[in-house]
Structure 1
């Protein structure tokens, strides 16, 4: 995160973005993605996806990667 553009610099302090992220992630916690050789631990890459609800035009996609190996042995 050494070459952020104006949008990237503004996003962490954007009140609306923080509200969406906090409200969504508190309802839908991150779940490990299965698929590696360890059946009790998921891959380190994580994704949240939500489509717009009936009462909102907001769609949310949050992506995080907690490691570069892909295995969580």
Structure 2
């Protein structure tokens, strides 16, 4: 059981890294809040692939946290 959870945690970690890297940057630097990029920073909503990647990041992160807590409990490390 512990080995299976370790493999799942590694796979989830790699998937989270891939999904986060695939996302488009939401800010354009320090000047985005002061210049013309303010509407992009505060008023835009993610659409299409950005929304899917954002939701997938949340789901994978929750699954990763749960598996990590289960693994820690099974290994008696906390």
Q: What's the TM-score, normalizing by structure 1?
A: 0.29
Q: Which has the higher contact order (CA 8 A, sep 6+)?
A: 2
Larger helix fraction of residues: 2
- The answer to which structure has the higher strand fraction is 1
Q: TM-score, normalised by structure 2?
A: 0.28
Q: Which has the larger radius of gyration?
A: 2
